[in-house]
Structure 1
Amino acid sequence: MLNFLWACFRPRSDRHVHNGSDSGGRQDGLLWYKDSGHHVNGDFSMAVVQANNLLEDQSQLESGCLSLEESGPYGTFVGVYDGHGGPETSRFINRHLFQHLKRFTSENQSMSVEVIKKAFEATEDEFLSLVSTQWPLNPQIAAVGSCCLVGVVCSGTLYIANLGDSRAVLGKLMKATGEIVAIQLSAEHNACIESVRQELQSTHPDDSQIVVLKHNVWRVKGLIQISRSIGDVYLKKAEFNQAPLYARFRLREPFKKPILSSDPSVSVHQLQPHDQFIIFASDGLWEHLTNQEAVDIVQNHPRSGIAKRLVKIALRSAAKKREMRYSDLKKIDRGVRRHFHDDITVVVLFLDSNLLSRASSVRTPSISVKGAGCEYLPERKARLPGAPWFLGPKPLARMVIRKHR
């Protein structure tokens, strides 16, 4: 085992490092980070570290107009998409979900829970359509899925929508004590949570194997931990749970109703001056930090680089658990690195009460940042001829600043 590990401690080829122009993001080995930036309602910081051979976490921050109409409303959108089985679904969400949200905001002429749910539904339907098209030549696409955590700040209101086990945590100032307390805003859908198991059992009363304890981990049908997602079509449509899908994904008996759901849990919060910041992160962070530990770190350190700091503290914890030094963990290449920690994405959104009080119709430049490397891109970029459907433009972070005409 030691020989195997030391064989992994080799310098990585430069081909793994995406060095774009200086648009505010930087790359340090498998770690991409944007120390600080400004959004409509305050400041933000982002970081992503890769563990899988192909990065399965995707993320974005969109600030400015949340509608197809320049009249607004204006606000900030944060998305964290933790893929599993491959990067295809998380990349798909990263390209399509926000565009659907803008379309439905235009139709409703406002932001709402209904708008967000419609955007999730449209993204799921569009991915299902793509799986149907790809199925004859690429049946394994039916077994690819993604968690989906979204936060929208608009007109002083915070909307949190979630599928899966990524998490949004609010740092709130308690005036009586001066402490910053952690408040979890997102509902998680993981079979390790008893209420999730009870929900699955109540919606599938005739299936005694709807959740199975396998190797001390609760899994839906013994296959997957999460109960809600985008994608994972093989557990939603019975016609995709058959050959030529790999046997390990196929259930012994056909199912009559979807096993997994794509209906997000959505909550609404009226933001107050004592709401200081929100941490959005994939479960790779929360495996190593509690909600309060993460909030304390953000509160007790400078804003600039705080997302990177959270990621590095999580990595140090992962190394310590394996009796390693952080410097040694950094030498392990992607793919093999997954045996030590997951892909980790963190977005910290700071809230400025003065900016929150402004009307949502105030026009501001639009900013778009997508995590995992960076480069300036024009507003429209055609896909390279012959490139796989799931790649589209290079999977680098994008930061596009557009001024309204």
Structure 2
Amino acid sequence: MASFLNNLFSSPYKKYNFKDEQFNKDPLAWSRPLVRHHCGEFSMAAIQANTDMEDESQVEVGIDALFVGVYDGHKGMIQQNNNSMNEIILRQVVDQMETDFNEFARNSFEQHHEVQNSFVSSGCLICIIWKGTLFVANVGDSRAILGSQKGIGKRLVVKQMVRDHSFLNPNIKQEFTELHPDYNNRSRYQSIEVKGLIETSRCIGYAYMKNAQFTKRRSFEIPLSEVVTPTFTRPLLSSQPDVYSTVLRDSDRFIIFGSGGFWKLISNEKAARVVNTSPRDRIAERLVTLALEKGAAKRGKKYRDLIKIPKSNCISGNNGNRNYGFRSAYHDDITVIVVYLDQRLNREGVTPEINSYTGYDYAVQQSEFTNFYNNANV
């Protein structure tokens, strides 16, 4: 395997001590301390708001590769493509996820007359560092930003690598209406938004909004809470990912991955400044804490006030007014992963352990990269 990222030097940062202990007192909080990967370190943190933790994340550490997924990833993609990686392969991976998801929903309906799987969806943000190149694909409202230091003064440069498809973005609203010029787009968009059915124009799943086979069949009864008016017979949503790749350079310092719940509260620039000027210890916790403080402040509270509020996905009434007796009124589920890009490959000559780390789980599993390396050496 080719090594990469030679001659990087660590970014300077101001001394900053993270003294806020509210995160450790929060029963809905989870974090993983710094873990070494082949060209640096990473840390993870998450906070739950809903009845079931809807965010899923995973980091796979290889000897000379790194996989990050905010959602579930397909780690067999490299070996199946002759030990190579490119943007086409990433698109194929996302397409296969979509196909499998919708096939499951179709079978559930046809064989068992179950419709609930037609209303299940998820975003998908996947990244792999492979042979010196960073590849990213995204569907939904998660986001990944690259922090670099450039020029004589080491000016911080922040780049969002792929679009997020949130309806909060004006260009996504415009894109949505342009895709359906022959429909009453405004009423259709408002129906989706007001009912709170989904917050993104692209996702994995939600087969009912993508396949006319569901809505055309009289036996397919749509729950009133899921009805979108007027009736539609062609896809409203898409699973097409935005894909990005770049060769990592000496100036690249870190990557911040976050679920939609994080980026609703913190800007790209704010998150990057915090990472660039803070010690690494507990950095993911720090970012999540900042988001929670922002969410609490919007309702005239502090983070310490949220700790006593239980998790729930309950929303009172149909007018969008949230029940402030539950955490979901102040913030969504949040996941943050910070990946540092360091000076030397396998620092101090220590090879990283080939492990799999899953969000909101303290267990450490053997990574599927193990099978990859074993098969590659046969």
TM-score range, shorter chain: 0.7 to 0.9
CA distance in 1 between counterparts of 2:328 and 2:142 reads 18
CA deviation string 1:233-275 (max 9, x = no partner):
1111123347433123233454343211111000111111111
Q: Are positions 1:325 and 2:302 aligned together?
A: yes
Q: Are positions 1:117 and 2:107 aligned together?
A: no
More displaced 10-residue stretch of structure 1: 239-248 or 262-271 = 239-248
Partner of 1:370: 358
* Paired residues for 1:68-107 under 5 Å: 74-81=64-71, 94=72, 97-99=73-75, 102-103=76-77, 105-107=79-81
The alpha-carbon distance between structure 1 residues 401 and 30, as it changes in their structure 2 partners (threshold 3 A), is farther
The alpha-carbon distance between structure 1 residues 105 and 204, as it changes in their structure 2 partners (threshold 3 A), is farther
The Cα of 1:212 is off from its aligned counterpart by 5.0
Q: Are positions 1:296 and 2:270 aligned together?
A: no
Question: What are structure 1's unaligned runs of at least 5 residues?
Answer: 1-25, 66-73, 82-93, 358-362, 380-398
Question: How many residue pairs are counted as aligned between the two chains?
Answer: 330
Question: What are structure 2's unaligned runs of at least 5 residues?
Answer: 1-23, 313-325
Residue pair 1:212, 1:221 contacting (<8 A) in 2 also: no
Partner of 2:204: 230
Partner of 1:12: none
Residue pair 2:356, 2:364 contacting (<8 A) in 1 also: no
CA distance in 2 between counterparts of 1:76 and 1:318 reads 32
The Cα of 1:209 is off from its aligned counterpart by 2.1
Secondary structure of 2:56's partner? strand
CA distance in 2 between counterparts of 1:331 and 1:221 reads 29
Secondary structure of 1:53's partner? coil
Secondary structure of 1:279's partner? strand
The alpha-carbon distance between structure 1 residues 233 and 137, as it changes in their structure 2 partners (threshold 3 A), is same
Secondary structure of 1:374's partner? coil
Q: Are positions 1:309 and 2:286 aligned together?
A: yes
- For residue 338 of structure 1, what is the amino acid of its counterpart? S
The Cα of 1:221 is off from its aligned counterpart by 9.6
CA deviation string 1:173-210 (max 9, x = no partner):
02232232322112121233232233223322211226
Residue pair 1:157, 1:271 contacting (<8 A) in 2 also: yes
CA distance in 2 between counterparts of 1:141 and 1:346 reads 28
Secondary structure of 1:160's partner? strand
The Cα of 1:364 is off from its aligned counterpart by 6.0
The Cα of 1:108 is off from its aligned counterpart by 3.9
- For residue 54 of structure 2, what is the amino acid of its counterpart? E
Secondary structure of 2:344's partner? helix
Residue pair 1:211, 1:219 contacting (<8 A) in 2 also: no
The alpha-carbon distance between structure 1 residues 213 and 251, as it changes in their structure 2 partners (threshold 3 A), is closer
Q: Are positions 1:129 and 2:103 aligned together?
A: yes
Q: Aligned to 1:204, which of 174, 180, 185?
A: 180
Please identify which structure carries the higher strand content.
Answer: 1
The Cα of 1:98 is off from its aligned counterpart by 1.9
- For residue 375 of structure 1, what is the amino acid of its counterpart? A
The Cα of 1:112 is off from its aligned counterpart by 0.9
TM-score of the pair, normalised by structure 2? 0.79
The Cα of 1:168 is off from its aligned counterpart by 0.7
Partner of 1:169: 145
Partner of 2:327: 337
Partner of 2:42: 44
Residue pair 1:201, 1:210 contacting (<8 A) in 2 also: yes
Residue pair 1:213, 1:222 contacting (<8 A) in 2 also: no
Q: Percent identity?
A: 35
